[in-house]
Amino acid sequence: MTNNGQSSKDQTPDVPSAEVRAADVALDTAGGAMGPSIVPVSSQSGDPGHQEGNVLRRIVMGNGFVSVLAVIVALFLGGLLIASTDSQVAKTAGYFLARPGDFLQALWAAMTESYVALFQGAVFNAREGFKPLLETMTVATPLICAGLGVALAFRAGLFNIGAQGQIIISATLAAYVGFAWHLPFGLHLLVVIIMGVLGGAAWGAIVGILKARTGAHEVIVTIMLNYVALFLLDFLLNTAAFRRPGDNSPISPRLDETATYPVLIPGSRLHLGFLVAVALTFGVWWMLNRSTIGFEFRAVGANPVAARTAGVKVSRATILVMAFAGALAAFGGVAQVAGTEKVLTGGVAAQIGFDSITVALLGRSTPWGTFFAGLLFGAFRAGAVQMQIQTGTPIDIVLVVQSLIVLFIAAPPLIRSIFRLEPKKKNKTPKAAPKAALANASGGAK
Amino acid sequence: MKKPLRATLKRGSMAGVATLGAAALLLTSCGQAPDAGSGAATKSDFLGCIVSDSGGFDDQSFNQSSFEGLKKAETDLGIQVRSAESKANSDFETNLNGMVSAGCNLTVTVGFLLGDATKAAAEKNTDKHFAIIDFAYDAPIANVKPVVYDTAQAAYLAGYAAAATTKTGKVGTFGGIKIPTVTIFMDGFYDGVQAYNKAKNKSVQVVGWDKNTQDGSFTGDFEKQDTGKQVTINLLDQGADIVMPVAGPVGKGAGAALKEAKAAGKDVKLIWVDSDGYLTAPEYKDLMLTSVVKQMGEAVETVVKDDKDGKFSNTAYVGTLENDGVAIAPFHDLDSAVSAETKSELDALKADIISGKLVVESKASPKK
């Protein structure tokens, strides 16, 4: 332990860092009622499956402060980008030396106007009050649902890239029931939801079954199933059953009024689906932290080999968690067709399935984290409209800013080094290591 | 390990950035400052707005042409312009609502996907005007002007010209996605070829589309030029020597495939769509037989001008050969490849279509 570099170098290859170990311990006991750890997480440090779990957890664990800083840095860089595309800034830069004040003013105006417009479109403006906030919540609804699905699978150690396909399948089924069947009010919506969710759950379960029975990697399976779902939808939209009578365009009839989520606040688009998303967030939190099955999921995610040794049926948990993940994403698909769009088109899932992966990561794979990350993304989406219309900022720049935020959050060391937060942590590492080891030895019996 | 890296990053990159920035400033910032008092030219307070579908304003197809039409109206008529690109179908409604709250007098929406959203916005805001490109409603709405094109008319002429020019007796076409605005090109093209066969007792075949079964080759999107190239190579392998891609930017993939075939000694030709490809895709101009042109920019500008002058109506604008809303482009460099006889026949056909003597029908034709 003569120098820090040396010791950390020695540790990295097979022994997880103190931070991660501590996280493991916390995970083991988070179940509270579950009693002392049945999963000796850190004892199999050489196991490849365990290493994979560590990488995942290293990405998703971090402190909220870093996230806030990441957003600030991204907003600043985004502001510079916005300014660089602004014609006034370019014009005044041309005579910067003659009158620098103009340039700085234009720069400031470009940066602030865009973000003011973003805020006005996403949260509050003088003309409409808090109506934009309702829009943010509307846009966030499918992102939250699908994000929960991705987060849940992450917690069980599975990279669920398949939210897109799960959304498409559920939206297809839900929409079909919505426009082809004519049922009374209440029952119709219920049937729409059930069909959609069953479809998504089945689509997710296929992945779980293939993973559990044949060992096929869930990433490739989910990506391929996304394609299957997408082109299946394209095909269906070209069949008479899914098209409007007398119309050749690939767009379905509108869903019956009885099949759609009721609007919560008149004058806005906010629908019942948002409350469903809140309930789902709570449900997933409860499942992960209070239920046996949730504990099993986390145990499998932490260390499948140890979980098996401890009596958890790993294959059953894999299939179940993917079915649950699919069902959660399916609520996103239902929110699309029964909440906002009310028709089925080839673009019904937009990029929600892929955005939900970032939402889940941004929320550090916790249910409430995902919920608020979804709201943040929803705010960006809703605000982007005003940003475009009011200031003429290209929507692509808005998406660049969003991507920057995720990039900074996925790389906490970068933020830490920009703000010089690293040294504190570095001094801690060697001291903390023995403590963590101790905690492990005692089996987390606190 | 980390520390030196960070230090290098800090010192090296910051110094680099600073130097670069200073250099850029020095190079670009020596211009004269404008007079402080120069006000903008007097502008009309008419606000014309446009909402794209998910293709965006750089789709080299109807979004782009419509946007350019509005931009032209901005310079020509001195109106103000707002634009919103949709990234997903769920953006349509929000974008339209945003336009309404921005106070747009006329909002142009592009494509059938926006049909429902435009209808909803129009019914909610009866004091605002809307125009929708490439879509018409079964029941007209008082404040929505549909702008549609009977593209089959122009494609018919292109099909006839292709049939008269082919050396292999086979011509090909493929689409991006099987939607009416695409298949209407292919239907017209197909019928034009059949008309030639009937008139000359020939049997030129169309590969890639069959009007009767409404089935043919599609690339699946309007983005992947690579797929367009593969499909074109397929069509060439089947013996076609003239290809009409109806797939927006994917047409460039077809251009690339044909260029390679030509370099390999084959006599192949390309028929562009939407705009005159000789001008808009000049890298393939030596292959360009003709283009099936949809004058979308002009239509948008006209609609804006009419509305500004208080002459808005909800009667559908149907682009035809008669009003030059659709047309075939000049043969340009390949003028010599088309015989004088064919040219006069094309003129006669055009006159017949305009007079109504000849009706070009397609399942995808605008509803009358």
Cα angle value B178/B180/B184 (rounded, 5°): 105
Token couple for A209: 């079954």
Cβ contacts of A386 on chain B, cutoff 8 Å: 98
The verdict on B87 touching A (C-beta cutoff 8 Å) is yes
Confidence of residue A338 (pLDDT cuts 50, 70, 90): very high
Q: Taking a contact as any Cβ pair under 8 Å apart, which residues of chain B between 174 and 213 contact chain A?
A: 177-180, 183
- What percent of chain A stands above pLDDT 70? 79
Answer with the residue of higher pLDDT: A35 or A284: A284
Q: Is the pLDDT of residue A181 over 70?
A: yes
Token couple for A200: 């998504």
pLDDT value, residue A117: 87
pLDDT value, residue B16: 53
Q: What is the DSSP string of B246-276?
A: ESGGGHHHHHHHHHHHHHTT---EEEEEES-
pLDDT value, residue B227: 93
CA distance B114 to B134: 10
The verdict on A347 touching B (C-beta cutoff 8 Å) is yes
Cβ contacts of B139 on chain A, cutoff 8 Å: none
Q: Is the pLDDT of residue B9 over 60?
A: no
**pLDDT (tens digit per residue) in A195-205:** 999 999 999 99
- What percent of chain B stands above pLDDT 90? 66
From the list A96, A336, A382, the residue facing B29 with the nearest CB is A96
The verdict on B51 touching A (C-beta cutoff 8 Å) is no
Cβ A345–B25 below 8 Å, yes or no? Answer: no
Residue A367: half-sphere exposure toward Cβ, Cα within 13 Å = 16
How far apart, in Å, are the Cα atoms of A407 and each of A73, A161, A314, A404, A415? 11, 18, 33, 5, 10
Once rounded to an integer, what is the mean pLDDT over residues B24-46? 58
Q: How many CB atoms are located within 10 Å of the residue B65 CB?
A: 25
Q: Taking a contact as any Cβ pair under 8 Å apart, which residues of chain A between 30 and 59 contact chain B?
A: none
Using DSSP, how many helices (H) and how many strands (E) does chain A show?
19, 0
Of A331, A211, A215, nearest to A271 by C-alpha is A331
pLDDT value, residue B18: 52
Cβ B87–A385 below 8 Å, yes or no? Answer: no
CA distance A79 to A32: 45
- Minimal-distance CA residue of chain B relative to A117: B98
Confidence of residue A1 (pLDDT cuts 50, 70, 90): very low
Q: Is the pLDDT of residue A348 over 50?
A: yes
Cβ A389–B180 below 8 Å, yes or no? Answer: no
pLDDT value, residue A98: 79
- Helix, strand, coil shares, percent, chain A, to 5: 75, 0, 25
pLDDT value, residue B174: 95
Residue type, B364: A
Give the containing element (helix H, strand E) for B244: strand B242-246
Give the containing element (helix H, strand E) for B50: strand B47-51
pLDDT value, residue B4: 47
**pLDDT (tens digit per residue) in B294-325:** 988 889 999 999 999 999 999 999 999 999 99
What global pTM score does this model have? 0.76
Q: What is the DSSP string of B56-68?
A: -TTSSSHHHHHHH
How far apart, in Å, are the Cα atoms of B118 and each of A336, B106, B108, B146, B285? 18, 12, 9, 11, 38
pLDDT value, residue B30: 55
Cβ A250–B177 below 8 Å, yes or no? Answer: yes
From the list A5, A99, A388, the residue facing B33 with the nearest CB is A99
Cβ B88–A389 below 8 Å, yes or no? Answer: no
Phi, psi dihedral angles at B330 (to 5 degrees): -60, 160
Once rounded to an integer, what is the mean pLDDT over residues B354-363? 92
Cβ A250–B178 below 8 Å, yes or no? Answer: yes
Confidence of residue A92 (pLDDT cuts 50, 70, 90): confident
Token couple for A388: 């475009």
How far apart, in Å, are the Cα atoms of B117 and each of A59, A254, A342? 40, 12, 10
CA distance B241 to A245: 38
The verdict on A342 touching B (C-beta cutoff 8 Å) is yes
CA distance A423 to A175: 54
Cβ B31–A95 below 8 Å, yes or no? Answer: yes
Token couple for B12: 């090296």
Phi, psi dihedral angles at B180 (to 5 degrees): -55, -40
Once rounded to an integer, what is the mean pLDDT over residues B83-102? 87
Residue A259, classed as helix, strand or coil, is: helix
pLDDT value, residue A67: 72
Q: Is the pLDDT of residue A125 over 70?
A: yes
**pLDDT (tens digit per residue) in A133-180:** 999 999 999 999 999 999 999 999 999 999 999 999 999 999 999 999
Cβ A345–B89 below 8 Å, yes or no? Answer: yes
Answer with the residue of higher pLDDT: B4 or A349: A349
Once rounded to an integer, what is the mean pLDDT over residues A368-376? 93
pLDDT value, residue A214: 94
- Helix, strand, coil shares, percent, chain B, to 5: 45, 15, 35
- Of the residues A9, A96, A135, A420, the best mutation for testing chain B's interface (the one with the most B CB atoms within 10 Å of its CB) is A96
Confidence of residue B26 (pLDDT cuts 50, 70, 90): low
N- to C-terminal Cα distance for chain B? Answer: 74
- Check residue B109 and report its DSSP letter: E
CA distance A214 to A211: 6
From the list B6, B9, B28, the residue facing A94 with the nearest CB is B28
Once rounded to an integer, what is the mean pLDDT over residues B333-360? 94
Burial class (CB in 10 A: 0-12, 13-18, 19+), A285: middle
Using DSSP, how many helices (H) and how many strands (E) does chain B show?
12, 14
Q: How many CB atoms are located within 10 Å of the residue A33 CB?
A: 8
Residue B205, classed as helix, strand or coil, is: strand
Once rounded to an integer, what is the mean pLDDT over residues A383-407? 80
Cβ contacts of B31 on chain A, cutoff 8 Å: 94-95, 98
Cβ A388–B85 below 8 Å, yes or no? Answer: yes
Q: A55-64, A228-237, B39-48: which has the minimum mean pLDDT?
A: A55-64
Q: Is the pLDDT of residue B10 over 60?
A: no
From the list A93, A251, A350, the residue facing B112 with the nearest CB is A251
**pLDDT (tens digit per residue) in A231-286:** 999 999 988 899 888 777 889 999 999 999 999 998 888 999 999 999 999 999 99
Mean pLDDT: which of A115-129, A279-293, A410-424 is highest? A279-293
